[in-house]
């Protein structure tokens, strides 16, 4: 049963990722009536929230946008940083939503940030210990390694679940700010498109969390309840 659940979630994840990329491409080609770039939008949102100590940077890569609380930077991909589209404005404001969370000491962001060092260790352990555990499954060592992998998987899964309120809250902050600033998005149609883009982005985090939960359940069944593939 665990394996079937994992396969179903993997298929759903593929569909959601494809849908998100399609939406992002569409809204990246939809001009923003105000003509502002993603950087302009980010700067205005930060300043409107009284934040002047966060740097906005352009970083290489596609969909590489993120907020780094360690060095207080909003990092935007070139297509968002320079873009004058619905997608650029939506993504830029979302990332600034994280900066606002940081400035307001949003508890879920603080918890997630505190988990990062532990998650990095757990992720590295999981990659190697899980594989070795299966190779040595017939021995006691293999079972012990899989127990370690299970512990690491618990940490990774918790992190993916904690990420959900952080991402949804950042989008809500972004959309509320865009709604109140008609100079950015001048019509309800533009705001609706931004909301749609951010909703599909959020769904990628949802299926990622579900995927982690499914892997954890499958490993738990194998270790504690007997492996079941039907």
pLDDT at residue 151 tops 50: yes
Q: Where are the alpha helices (DSSP H) in the chain?
A: 2-28, 38-48, 78-81, 86-103, 107-135, 140-180, 188-220
- pLDDT of the residue at 7: 83
pLDDT at residue 4 tops 60: yes
| 3, 218 Cβ separation under 8 angstroms | yes
Q: Could you tell me the pLDDT band of residue 58, with boundaries at 50, 70 and 90? A: very high
* Mean pLDDT of the 56-82 span: 96
Q: What is the mean pLDDT of the chain?
A: 91
The three state secondary structure string of 60-89 is: CCCCCCEEECCCCEEEECHHHHCCCEHHHH
Q: Could you tell me the pLDDT band of residue 134, with boundaries at 50, 70 and 90? A: low
Could you tell me which of 47, 38, 75 has the C-alpha nearest to residue 59? 75
d(CA 16, CA 196): 13
pLDDT at residue 230 tops 50: no
- pLDDT of the residue at 207: 93
pTM: 0.88
For 38, 119, 123, 196, 209, the CA distances from 157, given in Å and listed in that order, are: 32, 9, 10, 26, 7
Q: 115 or 137, which is more confident? A: 115
- pLDDT of the residue at 228: 44
Q: Give catalytic status of residue 29 as yes or no.
A: no
* Mean pLDDT of the 33-44 span: 96
pLDDT at residue 135 tops 90: no
In the set 43, 79, 95, 190, the catalytic residue is 95
| Angle at CA of residue 217, ends 215 and 219, nearest 5° | 70
| pLDDT tens-place string over residues 75-118 | 999 999 999 999 999 999 999 999 999 999 999 999 999 999 99
């Amino acid at each position: 049963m665990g394996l079937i659940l994992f396969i179903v979630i993997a298929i759903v994840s593929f569909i959601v990722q494809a849908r998100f990329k399609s939406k992002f491409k569409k809204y990246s080609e939809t001009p923003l009536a105000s003509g502002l770039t993603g950087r302009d939008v980010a700067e205005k949102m930060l300043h409107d929230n009284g934040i002047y100590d966060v740097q906005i940077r352009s970083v290489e890569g596609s969909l590489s946008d993120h907020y780094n609380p360690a060095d207080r930077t909003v990092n935007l991909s070139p297509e968002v940083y320079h873009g004058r589209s619905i997608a650029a404005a939506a993504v830029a404001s979302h990332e600034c939503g994280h900066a606002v969370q940081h400035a307001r000491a949003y508890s879920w962001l603080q918890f997630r940030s505190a988990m990062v060092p532990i998650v990095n260790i757990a992720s590295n352990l999981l990659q190697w210990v899980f594989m070795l555990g299966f190779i040595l499954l017939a021995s006691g060592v293999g079972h012990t390694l899989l127990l370690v992998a299970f512990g690491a998987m618990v940490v990774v899964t918790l992190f993916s679940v904690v990420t959900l309120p952080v991402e949804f809250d950042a989008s809500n902050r972004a959309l509320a700010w865009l709604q109140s600033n008609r100079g950015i998005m001048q019509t309800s149609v533009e705001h609706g498109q931004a909301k749609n883009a951010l909703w599909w982005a959020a769904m990628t985090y949802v299926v990622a969390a579900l995927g982690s939960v499914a892997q954890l359940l499958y490993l738990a069944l194998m270790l504690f309840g007997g492996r079941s593939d039907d």
